[in-house]
Amino acid sequence: DSQVGSGATSTVNDSSSSGQQDWSAVWECFESPHRLLSMPAGGLSKSMQEMVKNAVSEMRRYYSRKVVDVLIKVTRKTLDLIIKQFTSDANAVEGDSQKKPIFLLNASLMIPNVSVTPTLDDIQEVLLLAGKHISGLSKGVAQWTGGKTSRVSWKKIARPPSNPLLDVVTKLDEQVQSITAPPAALKSTKMVDMAKMKRKKHYRLESEEKPQFPFQQKNFYSYVMENKEIIKTLTLLSMCSANVKTEVNTLVKRWRPYHYLWKCEKTLRQLLAWNLNDFEISLKRHSELEAKLELEPDFLIIGNCLAVSTEKLKLGLTTELKNGTHRISQAMRKKYKREMDYVYAIMNDLDRKLERPIRDLDDVRTVMETLKKIREQEVDMELRIDPVEEAFNIITRYDLPVSKEDLEQVDNLRYTWQQLQARALASHFTLLKMQPQLEDDLNSNLDRFREDNSEYVHEYRYAGPMQPGLSPREASDRLILFQNRFDGMWRKLQTYQNGEELFGLPHTEYPELAQIRKELNLLQKLYKLYNDVIDRVSSYYDIPWGEVNIEEINNELMEFQNRCRKLPKGLKEWPAFFALKKTIDDFNDMCPLLELMANKAMKPRHWQRIMEVTKYNFELDNEDFCLKNILEAPLLVNKEDI
């Protein structure tokens, strides 16, 4: 205004000095400039009117340039504020560090990666949109061509008409509009608030949508966008997200140590194959990661522009840590609980044998074998107990779940083993005290056994299963009797020989008894097969003739023949072998005849002819007619005729 005023003053002074025109009207126009346009045509000369109009146009152009400059300055400064948030803060002053980030991102666990959302591409799109809106503010600033201001329109709520109410609302509106400046008194402020509340109570907005961005037909947008600095600033804005890409990648790499949780995940079978050192190393690694995770901040700031929330990521990693630790602890507890149960089972078995009262040499032998096992197990038990104790110490150290019963068993494990060793030592001293009496009993038992052995050998040689002239059935019966007697004598011999070894006595040999043992083993093979064949052939006799299955019988006979061939060569000279072979061969020869006779093509005349040849009557009409009735006939003698 001062510049325009000075220009106008100089012009008026120049005119008055010439004395050609009266400038008093112009001076009055300075007091009320709007009169310049409302004066009658004769008030000012045409040159003065032209001068005034040019002055108005120049003033408009001048202030338009000022408005453009201000819009450019505001737009650029606003964009620069955003860009500075994304630029490197190496040269930033101390006050800039207090700026708050403008974007909040969330880091989450998406195995096998760490995801940050929204992405930098999404942020760049938002920045471009923000730049578009900021530079578009000039569309709402109109040039000096006039225009109407938009006001918020209200719509009356549908209700019965009430003229008094409308009058009240109108007065309230006038009261609100009449308050141009906030009064100092608190009473006036309350009145304004009450008026607004009453208006909102009776009226509502026509639309809940956000108001449209103001737009003027004639605006300064094109002047702002043609500015090179604005173009340059928008270009920088479109690339500013690239400035923090490295920092975002660094933030993601920050969590790489936790990739161990899923990269090194093992199955239960693989975990059970671990040794104690593997379990401890893994649990230590999990504990270190858990401690490190607790120190991680809930928010990570990238420059002055981005804040990354790590709450979801930390929650996901914590869950993975707990699950992994639980799997390892379960496998560890299962493996060493199984090992502990095995140690207890061995100790309980040895302890039960040591508790057995010593009454004879069998008991002595059992106790001596148990003491020997305990001595042999000493090193192995130490190697088993130490890892079990250490494993449960590790479980307790890392506060892993374990039952109270398991901990009690671990605490008593070594004590139980020491108690067993003490009992073994006591049993050893007991045997030393009983040694003289036991040695005397052994000598008397050996004398008695020698007599029993001589008697048994004599009876076996003269009345045993190998006695000449015995039928196979008689020989089989005698075999059973002598085998039972031999088993008892052999058990005694083993006990007495162990006693001789225990007390350091000479080892007595019984060669005849050893020979009889070999013979009985061979006879068992022969007569077992013989009894199987006889019993099976006898069962054929009771099969009804109509149900005879010749094919099944043939298969069983072939199996018996194979077993005969596999018998030791020495058995094939014994009478039982010949009787066995003859029974199988005779039945084999009989099978073709039986197969023909069982043929459905057999007629009564055929049976009549067979009865005439064999001179044997077959009662075919009898319901009890069995295979036995066929086999009793002399079929093999008349095989050719049949």
Domain assignment present for 591:
yes
Q: What is the mean pLDDT of the chain?
A: 77
Mean pLDDT of 165-171: 44
Are residues 522 and 419 located together in one domain of the fold?
no
Q: How far apart are CA 74 and CA 134, in angstroms?
A: 9
pLDDT for the residue numbered 421? 92
Domain assignment present for 11:
no
pLDDT bin (cut points 50, 70, 90) of residue 11 is very low
The burial of 80, by beta-carbon neighbours within 10 Å (0-12 exposed, 13-18 middle, 19 or more buried), is given as middle
Are residues 268 and 169 located together in one domain of the fold?
no
Are residues 272 and 398 located together in one domain of the fold?
yes
Q: How far apart are CA 425 and CA 19, in angstroms?
A: 148
Are residues 339 and 484 located together in one domain of the fold?
no
pLDDT, tens digit, for every residue of 421-460? 999 999 888 888 888 888 888 888 888 888 888 898 888 8
Are residues 501 and 402 located together in one domain of the fold?
no
Domain assignment present for 122:
no
- Which H helix or E strand runs over 107? strand 103-110
Domain assignment present for 560:
yes
pLDDT bin (cut points 50, 70, 90) of residue 175 is very low
Q: How far apart are CA 378 and CA 376, in angstroms?
A: 6
Domain assignment present for 498:
yes
Lowest mean per-residue pLDDT among 202-211, 228-237, 333-342, 572-581: 202-211
Q: How far apart are CA 597 and CA 548, in angstroms?
A: 11
Are residues 368 and 494 located together in one domain of the fold?
no
Provide the domain limits for residue 579: 464-631
- Which H helix or E strand runs over 156? strand 154-156
- Which H helix or E strand runs over 316? helix 311-354
pLDDT bin (cut points 50, 70, 90) of residue 491 is confident
Are residues 198 and 267 located together in one domain of the fold?
no
Q: Is pLDDT at 165 greater than 60 in this prediction?
A: no
Domain count, the chain: 3
Are residues 486 and 584 located together in one domain of the fold?
yes
pLDDT for the residue numbered 31? 67
pLDDT for the residue numbered 152? 44
Q: Is pLDDT at 308 greater than 70 in this prediction?
A: yes
Mean pLDDT of 561-572: 77
Are residues 418 and 526 located together in one domain of the fold?
no
pLDDT for the residue numbered 89? 53
Are residues 352 and 291 located together in one domain of the fold?
yes
- Which H helix or E strand runs over 301? strand 299-302
pLDDT, tens digit, for every residue of 583-614? 788 777 777 777 777 777 777 777 778 787 77
Q: Is pLDDT at 416 greater than 90 in this prediction?
A: yes
How many helices, marked H, and strands, marked E, lie in the chain? 22, 6
Q: Is pLDDT at 397 greater than 70 in this prediction?
A: yes
Distances (CA, A) of 333 to 54, 391, 503: 99, 8, 47
pLDDT for the residue numbered 413? 92
Lowest mean per-residue pLDDT among 116-130, 206-220, 334-348, 552-566: 206-220
pLDDT, tens digit, for every residue of 273-294? 788 888 888 888 888 888 888 8
Q: How far apart are CA 586 and CA 583, in angstroms?
A: 5
- Which H helix or E strand runs over 308? strand 306-309
Are residues 178 and 295 located together in one domain of the fold?
no
Are residues 484 and 405 located together in one domain of the fold?
no
Q: Is pLDDT at 254 greater than 80 in this prediction?
A: yes
Q: Do you find a cis peptide bond into 436, omega within 30 degrees of 0?
A: no
Q: How far apart are CA 468 and CA 475, in angstroms?
A: 9
- Smallest CA-to-CA distance from 516 within 473, 458, 562 is with 458
pLDDT bin (cut points 50, 70, 90) of residue 195 is low
Query: Which of 428, 445, 480 is at the close of a domain?
Result: 428
The answer to whether residues 67 and 273 touch, using CB atoms and an 8 Å cutoff, is no
Amino acid code (one letter) for 178: S
Angle between helices 2-18 and 46-86 in degrees, nearest 10: 160
Selection from 5-9, 74-78, 502-506 with the highest mean pLDDT: 74-78
Domain assignment present for 44:
no
Domain assignment present for 9:
no
Mean pLDDT of 206-219: 67
Q: Helix/strand/coil (H, E, C) string of 46-104?
A: HHHHHHHHHHHHHHHHHHHHHHHHHHHHHHHHHHHHHHHHHCCCCCCCHHHHHCCCCEE
pLDDT for the residue numbered 169? 38
pLDDT for the residue numbered 213? 64
Domain assignment present for 499:
yes
DSSP assignment of 348-412, as one string?
Answer: HHHHHHHTS---SHHHHHHHHHHHHHHHHHHHHHHHHHHHHHHHHHHHHHTT----HHHHHHHHH
pLDDT bin (cut points 50, 70, 90) of residue 34 is low
